[in-house]
Structures are given as C-alpha cells and as structure tokens.
Amino acid sequence: MRRCSTGVSLLGRGFGTTVALGGVPALLAACGDDEEETPQSRAEPAVDTRPPADGEAIVGDVLDFALTSDEWEGAFGFVSMRLHEGVVDGESVWFVRTDASDETFARREKLVFAPRIASLSRDGLSGELVVVEDGPAVLSSRPGKDDYTPAWRVRRGRWSGTPRELSSLGDVRAAERAGDLELEDAGAVMNAAVVKWPGGQLAVDRKLRKYLEGGQLIETPDTRSGEVKFKLHECFPNARYIVTDHSIAPAAKMTRTAFAPRLHGRPRDAGATGRTNVFMNGVKGSGPMEAQPSVFDSDPGDPVWSPYWDHFTYQ
C-alpha cells in the first residue's frame, strides 16, 4: 500500500513529516545510545556531544515535550509547538513550521534543513506563503481546498509605501503593482502544516488511548497564546514525530488529519519524498497499527531527509 503523509520529527536525529502521501515532521533529536565509549586521552577529556537520553528539540518552535506520559493510557508522549497566524482569502488560519529547503533560511528560522523538498518549488507542487512585516502571513490555500498542500514557496514583503491590511494574495499583488510593497523570493520551500482553519481543525483525541484513535491533537489549538499540543510518536531509527496531513482522503479520514490533495503523486515524481515502513502486525509496540514503531529511511538533518513520506506496509 502506497500513500504519502506529512509529519514533523521533533526528537531524535531528525525532524520529519509524513503524508499518505502525508505529513509527519520530525521534531526531536536522537536519544542517547548504548554504544561503548572510545577511550580518550587524559590530557584532553572527552566531550559527550550525544543528545540527552530524553532527546532534544531540533525545531525552534518546540515549546515543551515529553517522550511518555502517565497522564494517559496511550504509548505516546506530547509536544507543544508555537502557532503562527496566517490569512487565506480574508479568513484566519493557524499553522506550525518544521522544515525548509534552504540552509540559510532553515538556520535563521530554526527549522530542519531538508534540501530534498526544494524540487517542490516548481509550479503546481507547492502553495504560496508571503511573510509581511507587522501582519499575518498570507497563504494561497488551506485544508478543504483542492489545491491545499503543507509545502509553501516563501516570499517576504516589505512596505515601501503606506502599509495596509492584506487579506489575500490578490491584495499582495495589488500592493506590489501599486509600488507600495516590495516582494523578495526567500529561495526556500517551507513545510508548514495548517492545523486550524475556518470551520475546521485537526481533531482532538479525548481518550488518548491509541495512535490512530480520535485524532492527533491532545488539546484544542490555543490561538490566544499561540500554542498547539500534539501526540508525539516514536519512529526508528532516531526520531520522534507528529502527523498532520495525508494525500489521499481515506487515509486522512482514518487518521483524522488534513487532506492535502496536492501532495499526491507529483511530489514523489519530483524526488521530494522519503519512505516510511509501517508494520501491520508482529511485535507489539507503539506503531500506528499497535505493532512495532515504523522505520524511516533517513534521519532529520540527513541530505536526503524529507518530511513527506511514501508509506509501505508489511504484515
């Protein structure tokens, strides 16, 4: 079975997003391992550069996390992330950011560098996101629209004339034509999943017993404080991640995530996707189907890392 999902890897060596084609960003760096230490010179004591045993965040918008919790039955932890406000055709949306294709942009914004998704800058493979000073970001789409994707070509807007409210890309283009707004291409594709939109949001799991039951949020997005709390899942070899989008409607419905139709098919053809291996049975564990955790084909931070994943299932 193949689909694409998007997610964000928060702990472990990388950060990722899975799509069905879906999205699963990786948010945390690898936990400590059990390898024996190499003897070091006494004159130059070894410095342990491994992440701590409880992981470390590799995305700057991570506010808090725990790998496990005794507050619920499910075999998952939690991660709280900063929400960013946007606007689509006059209506507010809220999104989280995890990865970017340009190294300088990723470093400045404290995101995971994912050069593999740069190919999504081609027409039809990503949306548009304009960051304007002193205002919400302006996006071209949102969940519920046929062209929605969590992958965005980023541009920056700077006022050269009288600032005014911008509520759509049409407003942005009109301000540019009038000479009031200067636009600069950031040269980056950014993975930024919309989690709350007009009339909808990612589902909140009120029971917190299973990976797929109820939804991927632990609490309703708090737009006043700008924070959202996700289930945090384990994936081998070295990551913890969240799930946000899927590229086919049945998978989005099953996981209670956003349907991102523009992720289907063409991002794979453009070489922008990774692979996640999902186990349908076998050893019991914290994986999506209550078997062992899934296995990614790379770690966040690797040159081939992508937050968008083709899913392969085994039983």
pLDDT in tens, 28-82: 654 333 333 333 333 333 333 334 446 789 999 999 999 999 999 999 999 999 9
- pLDDT for 182-195, tens place per residue? 999 999 999 999 99
List the chain residues with pLDDT less than 50: 1-2, 10-22, 30-53
Environment class of residue 162 by beta-carbon count within 10 Å: exposed (0-12), middle (13-18) or buried (19+)? Answer: exposed
**Residue 261 located in a structural domain:** yes
Domain tally, the chain? 1
Q: Is residue 42 part of a domain?
A: no
Tell me if 48 is assigned to some domain.
Answer: no
Q: Please tell me the predicted confidence (pLDDT) of residue 155.
A: 98
pLDDT of the residue at 138: 98
pLDDT at residue 49 in the model: 36
Q: Assess if residue 78 is contained within a domain.
A: yes
pLDDT of residue 4: 63
> Whole domain around residue 76: which residue ranges?
4-30+53-314
pLDDT at 18: 33
Q: Quick check: is 12 in a domain?
A: yes
What was the pLDDT predicted at 48?
Answer: 37
